[in-house]
Chain A
Amino acid sequence: GPKVLQIPSHQIIDMGQMVTLNCDPVSNHLYFYWYKQILGQQMEFLVNFYNGKVMEKSKLFKDQFSVERPDGSYFTLKIQPTALEDSAVYFCASSFGQGWNTEVFFGKGTRLTVV
């Protein structure tokens, strides 16, 4: 079935450094999402992105976070600077449509460890 690929699967970064998480969404999908899951806890919505713009973001999407998808390439989540509390698994997702057509496909996640 359709796959969302996330690169890398695990990243360790020093606090204060910048990190970029990459996501290769399903090829014909138009809506893109990032979710955050702290170990053993709930999946929390961060942001959704459509037509080159952030549509909605949550309180977890701090000013240090940004997303983009330049020229239809990877959909990226950048954190600059990173903080210890950013350690989590970040899941990228994509969907073709919204509402009635919203079947959301998730990647396997990138485990980010900030030390």
Chain B
Amino acid sequence: GEKVEQHESTLSVREGDSAVINCTYTDTASSYFPWYKQEAGKSLHFVIDIRSNVDRKQSQRLIVLLDKKAKRFSLHITATQPEDSAIYFCAASSNTNKVVFGTGTRLQVLP
């Protein structure tokens, strides 16, 4: 079955810098790649997604890149702010509807 690896378990950046979180997946049938944010003690909050028909998507300060050949996707958070501090989960999904999550990256934005 699909396996999603999230390479950075923790990441610290200075406020205003960019943060990059990298994920890889194994199933070539995966076509949908959402990213979720989880603040302490709270649920998952959808932040952005990318589908396999594009290789880049931007929403305000968030950019996701998808490299289907390398089976790699990444989340770039530009101009980071303290409220970006959270755990970020990447995920992958194919036609089976099963969303497989990465292990999470704890992002800390330092003042």
Q: Which residues of A are interface residues toward B (Cβ below 8 A)? A: 31, 33, 35, 41-45, 48, 50, 55-56, 91, 93, 95, 98-100, 102-109
Given contacts A103-B34, A106-B44, 10 further A-B contacts (CB under 8 A): A31-B97, A42-B104, A45-B98, A45-B101, A48-B97, A50-B97, A100-B32, A102-B32, A102-B93, A102-B97
A105: chain B residues at CB < 8 Å are 46
Contact between chains at B99 and A45 (CB < 8 Å): yes
Contacts of B103 in A (CB 8 A): 41-42
Chain A positions within 8 Å of B98 at CB level? 33, 45, 48, 56
Partner of B42, one of A50, A102, A108: A108
Enumerate chain B residues within 8 angstroms of A31, measured Cβ to Cβ.
97
Asked if B101 and A104 make an inter-chain contact with CB atoms under 8 angstroms apart, the answer reads no
Interface residues of B (CB under 8 A from A): 31-32, 34, 36, 42-44, 46, 49, 51, 89, 93-104
Chain B residues, CB < 8 A from A109: 43
A108 with B43, Cβ < 8 A, contacts A33-B97, A45-B98, A48-B97 known: yes
Residues of A near B43 (CB, < 8 A) are: 91, 106-109
Q: How far is the CB of A95 from chain B (nearest CB, A)?
A: 7
Of chain A, the residue at the smallest CB distance from B29 is A99
Q: Chain B residues near A98 (CB, 8 Å)? A: 95-97
Closest to A42 in B: B103
Are the C-beta atoms of A104 and B96 separated by less than 8 Å?
no
With the chains together, A44 CA to B31 CA distance in Å?
Answer: 19
Which residue of B42, B51, B94, B97 is within 8 Å of A95 (Cβ)?
B97
A100 touches B102 (CB 8 A): no
Question: Is B96 a contact of A55 with CB atoms below 8 Å?
Answer: yes
Instruction: State how many angstroms separate the Cβ of A90 from the closest Cβ of chain B.
Output: 11
B94 contacts across to A, CB distance below 8 A: 99
Q: Are A104 and B31 also in contact (CB < 8 A) when A43-B44, A99-B94 are?
A: no
